[in-house]
Chain A
Amino acid sequence: MQAPASSRPGPKAEQIILFRVSGALLAISSASVQEVRSVESLAGISQELPQSAVRKARHAVRRGDRPFYVVNGALHFGLPPAPSSLVFVLRNTRTALLVDGIEKMTSITRLQALSHAFCHEERRWYRGLTSLDQIVVPVVNPDGFLSFEEQTLLDEAFAALNAARAVKTMGDEAPA
């Protein structure tokens, strides 16, 4: 007697990007990355935020009504500083993440939740862990780079910078 064909669908695959931050191998869902740019391409359009109280984010890029903030991945994860070559603009967030570079793109079918033993900021940093070719890689949470409080601080620094610029422009345009 023939066994009935299984109607259970196979595990759903998720496309991910493997990348490095200060040498550490991390993964992010491809769907979370709206754009990958070179660091050089940001140079002309980013504004430095000298009054930023958020050490890991010192630059903003205006896009539409609201700016997004460039987060240094090494500082975010508490790693030694390393030169970055790429920026991931993250979808549905106000974060652009500086990374060393992309390792490769691949897919995963299983994501294991972080053990409860991990009980600090990493719970916000990661969606979970996955194993690829017998290597364990954390999958980052795109919402975990800037908290609401950090975004508020950055918005204030951005507003202060633009207010100062507006005053300077008015001063420059005033008749002598």
Chain B
Amino acid sequence: MTASTEIDLQSFVLLRLGERRFALSALQIAELVAPSRVFRFPHNTKELEGVILRRGRIVPVCDISERLVGRKLSSRRFYLIATRKYDAGTDWVALPVTGECELITAEMTPPGSSDSPHVAGWIAHDGDVIEVLSLDALTPGPTAKNTPARPGAAPEFAHEVRP
């Protein structure tokens, strides 16, 4: 009888922010697109710089580099469009990245107790140990504290509303 070890391989997309690489679960990725015009309008969610228009959908742009590498990106080559889960549903969010992205398969090690909340786990690839990111911790979203009640507002799950 031989003992077998089960290896739980998952797919990840590697993204580049400056000199560093990070990973996101491939299940969260919608597409990789060329940079397009960012539309800016008044709002108070500082983490968001505006929105882009992608295939008729309006997608918020969130530069996560400042939190991860300590500075905003001076140049961006692509937007990695990822799906972000909220209590009320899922939305797309566009993450500016500085280089090509790569799809890989790896085994994820769970995060340690001392890891930052944005670390969903760790993978080893090409001799590097790479952080797997938690979008929930990196991108803004509603909390009981910061969501003002809006009387008569459409239900939060209504993604598209008819005029």
Which residues from chain A sit less than 8 Å from chain B, CB to CB? 11-14, 21, 24-26, 29, 77-79, 108-113, 115-125, 127-129, 131, 134-138, 141, 143-144
B 123-163 contacts with A by CB, 8 A = 139-143, 146-148, 150-154, 156, 158-163
**CB-based closest 8 A-B pairs:** A14-B163, A77-B42, A120-B44, A122-B43, A136-B39, A116-B86, A117-B60, A119-B142
Residues of A within 8 A of B150 (CB): 123-124, 141, 143-144
- Which one, B58, B140, B163, contacts A131 given CB within 8 A? B58
Give complex CA distance A113, B51 in Å: 13
Give complex CA distance A109, B44 in Å: 27
B48 to chain A, nearest CB (A): 6
Give complex CA distance A73, B33 in Å: 35
Residues of B within 8 A of A24 (CB): 41-42
Residues of A within 8 A of B159 (CB): 112-113
Residues of A within 8 A of B156 (CB): 116
- Proximity bits, B23-61, A CB within 8 Å = 1, else 0: 000000000000000010111110110010100111110
User: DSSP majority for the B interface?
Assistant: loop
Which residues from chain B sit less than 8 Å from chain A, CB to CB? 39, 41-45, 47-48, 51, 53, 56-60, 62, 84, 86, 88-89, 91-93, 139-143, 146-148, 150-154, 156, 158-163
| B48→A117 contact, CB < 8 A | yes
A103 to chain B, nearest CB (A): 14
Residues of B within 8 A of A78 (CB): 42, 44
New A-B contacts (13) at CB < 8 Å, excluding given A117-B47, A117-B141, A119-B140: A14-B163, A112-B161, A115-B51, A115-B59, A117-B48, A122-B45, A123-B147, A123-B153, A124-B150, A129-B51, A131-B53, A131-B58, A144-B150
| B41→A116 contact, CB < 8 A | no
| Beta-carbon nearest neighbor of A119 in chain B | B142
| B148→A121 contact, CB < 8 A | yes
| Beta-carbon nearest neighbor of A147 in chain B | B148
Some 9 contacts from A to B, beta carbons below 8 A apart, are A11-B162, A77-B42, A115-B91, A115-B92, A117-B48, A117-B93, A123-B148, A125-B42, A129-B58
Residues of B within 8 A of A125 (CB): 42-43
Q: Max chain A CB contacts within 10 Å: which of B143, B152, B160, B163?
A: B163
| B60→A115 contact, CB < 8 A | yes
B86 to chain A, nearest CB (A): 4
Give complex CA distance A37, B145 in Å: 38
| B158→A116 contact, CB < 8 A | no
| B58→A136 contact, CB < 8 A | yes
Give complex CA distance A129, B160 in Å: 10
A8 to chain B, nearest CB (A): 13
| Beta-carbon nearest neighbor of B143 in chain A | A119
Residues of A within 8 A of B139 (CB): 117
| B84→A113 contact, CB < 8 A | no
Residues of B within 8 A of A141 (CB): 150, 153
